[in-house]
Amino acid sequence: MLPAVALAAIALIAIKLDSRFVVGLLALSTLIYARKIGVSLKLRNVTDKESYFNAYLFSTFLAALCIFGLSKDVVFASIFLVLIHNFRKNALWDIAIYTTAALIYFLSYYTLNGIEVKLAQVFFLSLAGGLTAALVESVDTNADKRLTLLVALSTVFTIFKLYIPSASLPSLTFAFLFSFLVSLLALYAKVADESGLMSATIVGTTLILFTDIRFFAVILLFYALGSVITKYKYSVKLERGIAEQAGGARGYANVFGNSLAPLFFAVHYGVLGEETFAAAFVAAVAAALADTMASEVGKAEENVYLITNLERVKPGTSGGVSFKGELAALVGCIVTALLALALGIVELNTLFPVVLSSFIGVHVDSLLGATLEKKGYLTNSAVNFFGTLSAGIICVLLLSQPP
């Protein structure tokens, strides 16, 4: 506990001190702590002493980056929040305490330095950190949690400060509460776990703030239909040992793997206002839904073929395709595109490029699954990310072509 308090104290005094002095102070503290405790760098299965050493070492690195232009507020807020790790309890408590601590630090930093900021923006930044920290706390891993917190918080704070929307406090409150309540319903319906709850809340809040509720409705379609299709011939898939675990409840890896690419295009649409990015968002979501539908239908089929050489493989094999799976994928692409059309996100003349690019994205996913995932170079979530990202990029390229 004492090392965490000392680290938090350094983060607090850093508000008014030169970054170079703070780097020296942290470096000295790291050396003294390492010598006194007798620990070395270790990233997994760490003791508390090893974890604190990692926190001091990485904090020194982050503080050094401030000399080269990284914002002091986001760096030292991240360091300050390491203290809160000692008071973690459960998901809701963690969101509240991390968000409150971040809010206190940011307000102190801006007030003491005479920096004028919008309260809504500070609250949004703090909430993003609170959700991220709570998500890290909820994940069962043997990695060093304090180090993971520092990496995650400093990254999220930096990204959100660069792209923070000019939203009012009521808009922020609505975006968060709406996303959280929908995610909470998913948790109680057992279509998401705790990590899925928090990651979906992050995605939903950001999506609504940068765009509007229509975009949230499109990605909600993916989660809803994706969960329903998971139940398709579930007993058959369970018997074959290839059914989704926990009845298909989505965790953080699944949420981020399928949502980060759509979120990327949505944020760009919100910042730049270019309709092409709105279409790319729809294509990325369509690819995610289509891939899920193809996979869940294909797992229950008898005739499944590897996309790379069309040799027959066992159902559930990464990169396997089937006739009914292909039809399900096409349906997923079309349904998503039609919803976006009905909501006014895309126009009729962009419908075909959206469907085509999303259908191609599904097969990029299958190719990556049959090659890089099979060899262990990519996880399933990474494959999902690149598949949805490729759908969005292809959509942008198709719509960027001269008439």
pLDDT of residue 394: 96
pLDDT at 142 over 90: no
Count CB neighbours of 240 within 10 A: 14
Residue 44 vs residue 222, higher pLDDT: 222
Q: Whose structure tokens read 């917190």?
A: 149
In this prediction, residues 71-80 reach a mean pLDDT of 91
Quote the Cα angle for 69-73-79, to 5°: 105
pLDDT band at 6 (very low <50, low <70, confident <90, very high): confident
Residue (of 106, 61, 103, 51) closest to 82 by Cα position: 51
Q: Whose structure tokens read 């808009």?
A: 171
Percent of the chain with pLDDT over 90: 31
pLDDT of residue 309: 85
In this prediction, residues 199-214 reach a mean pLDDT of 88
Question: What's the whole-number average pLDDT of the chain?
Answer: 86
Distances in Å between the Cα of 277 and the Cα atoms of 266, 301, 325, 339 are 7, 36, 28, 17
Residue 184 vs residue 355, higher pLDDT: 355
CA–CA separation, 231 vs 327, rounded Å? Answer: 18
pLDDT at 338 over 70: yes
When mean pLDDT is compared over 214-223, 296-305, 312-321, the highest value belongs to 214-223
Q: Whose structure tokens read 């963690």?
A: 94
Burial of 373 (0-12, 13-18, 19+ CB in 10 A): buried
pLDDT of residue 380: 83
Burial of 277 (0-12, 13-18, 19+ CB in 10 A): buried
In this prediction, residues 379-401 reach a mean pLDDT of 90
Residue (of 307, 396, 400) closest to 357 by Cα position: 396
pLDDT of residue 317: 79
pLDDT of residue 397: 94
pLDDT band at 359 (very low <50, low <70, confident <90, very high): very high
pLDDT at 43 over 70: no
pLDDT of residue 53: 84
SS (H, E, C) the chain: CHHHHHHHHHHHHCCCCCHHHHHHHHHHHHHHHHHHHCCCCCCECCCHHHHHHHHHHHHHHHHHHHHCCCCHHHHHHHHHHHHHHHHCCCHHHHHHHHHHHHHHHHHHHHHHCCCCCCHHHHHHHHHHHHHHHHHHHHCCCCECHHHHHHHHHHHHHHHHHHHCCCCCHHHHHHHHHHHHHHHHHHHHCCCECHHHHHHHHHHHHHHHHHCCHHHHHHHHHHHHHHHHHHCCCHHHHHHHCCCCHHHHCECHHHHHHHHHHHHHHHHHHHHHCCHHHHHHHHHHHHHHHHHHHHHHHHCCCCCEEECCCCCEECCCCCCEECHHHHHHHHHHHHHHHHHHHHCCCCCHHHHHHHHHHHHHHHHHHHHHHHHHHCCCCCCHHHHHHHHHHHHHHHHHHHHHCCC
pLDDT at 182 over 80: yes
In this prediction, residues 379-396 reach a mean pLDDT of 91
In this prediction, residues 361-379 reach a mean pLDDT of 88
Sign (positive or negative) of CA dihedral 196, 199, 202, 204? negative
pLDDT of residue 105: 94
pLDDT of residue 124: 85
Answer whether 258's CB lies under 8 Å from 365's CB.
no
pLDDT of residue 100: 94
pLDDT of residue 322: 87
pLDDT band at 275 (very low <50, low <70, confident <90, very high): very high
pLDDT of residue 3: 81
pLDDT of residue 240: 65
Least confident range of 57-61, 105-109, 186-190, 278-282: 186-190
In this prediction, residues 249-263 reach a mean pLDDT of 82
CA–CA separation, 146 vs 150, rounded Å? Answer: 6
pLDDT of residue 245: 57
In this prediction, residues 42-54 reach a mean pLDDT of 78
Residue type, 387: G
pLDDT at 377 over 90: no
Structure tokens at 296: 């869940």
In this prediction, residues 105-121 reach a mean pLDDT of 89
pTM: 0.78
pLDDT band at 241 (very low <50, low <70, confident <90, very high): low
